[in-house]
Amino acid sequence: MNYLAEPKQFASWSADAASEIIDRHLSERGPLLEILNDLQRTFGFIHEDAIALVAEELNLSQAEVYGVLTFYKDLRTEPPGTFVLKICKAESCQSVGANQLAEAAQEIFQTKIGSTSQDQSVTLEEVFCLGNCALSPAMMVGEKLLGRMDVERIAKLSDEIKSVTL
Ligand code: FES
């Protein structure tokens, strides 16, 4: 089985492009979170220079923007690896061993949840319900949803990732 979707390509950081993204949302009500999500969708993470740009445009302090940025686990302040592996830790998945799988994934990919492997191939993240509870334990790699995961399948996923990143 092929576990991988195409790795997501992100734009290189550009303050001009970031300003355009911010401008697009300025007329919305409470646009901060949508701006941060849009910046991440475009660049893969929130560049530190984006914090000042967002703060200035929304008339907020940089600390306020940073507070929101660090509150939401989905938002990143560092570029992700080639593949982002999201491991569901919500109830249904936990009840069938998600915690043990998260441990195994950290060992297999040689990185911690919330971090990127040294070779930049994988970022591990935890999420709380991928809407795939019927196929728990669930994970997501890139945009591809995976169900009924076990250690063996994570190891196969690791082999596939190595085959396209090494
Ligand atoms: S609890 Fe894991 S997919 Fe819903």
Residue 6 has pLDDT above 80, yes or no: no
Quick: pLDDT tens for 123-148.
999 999 999 999 999 999 988 999 99
Residues with CB under 6 A from ligand 1: 88, 90-93, 129-130, 132-133, 136, 138
**What angle separates helix 98-109 from helix 151-165, to the nearest 10 degrees?**
30
Instruction: Provide mean pLDDT across the span 104-123.
Output: 96
Indicate the pLDDT class of residue 1, thresholds 50, 70 and 90: low
Q: Give the span between the Cα atoms of 38 and 36, in whole angstroms.
A: 5
If one residue of 132, 135, 146, 148 were mutated to test the ligand 1 pocket, choosing by the most ligand atoms within 8 A of its CB, it would be 132
Residue 37 has pLDDT above 90, yes or no: yes
The SS3 assignment for 87 reads: strand
Quick: pLDDT tens for 56-86.
999 999 999 999 999 998 899 999 999 999 9
Burial per residue of 110-138, b for 16 or more beta-carbon CB atoms within 10 angstroms, e otherwise: ebebebbbeeebbbbbbbeebebbeebbb
- Taking CA atoms, 25 is separated from 37, 54, 151, in Å, by 11, 11, 42
pLDDT value at residue 27: 94
* Report field, pTM of the whole predicted structure over 0.95: no
Which amino acid is present at 59?
N
Shortest-distance atom of ligand 1 to CA 88? 2
For the chain, domain boundaries: 15-71, 83-165
Shortest-distance atom of ligand 1 to CA 98? 2
| CA neighbor of 114 nearest in space, from 40, 106, 39 | 106
Fold assignment, 83-165: Glutaredoxin (3.40.30)
If one residue of 87, 92, 149 were mutated to test the ligand 1 pocket, choosing by the most ligand atoms within 8 A of its CB, it would be 92
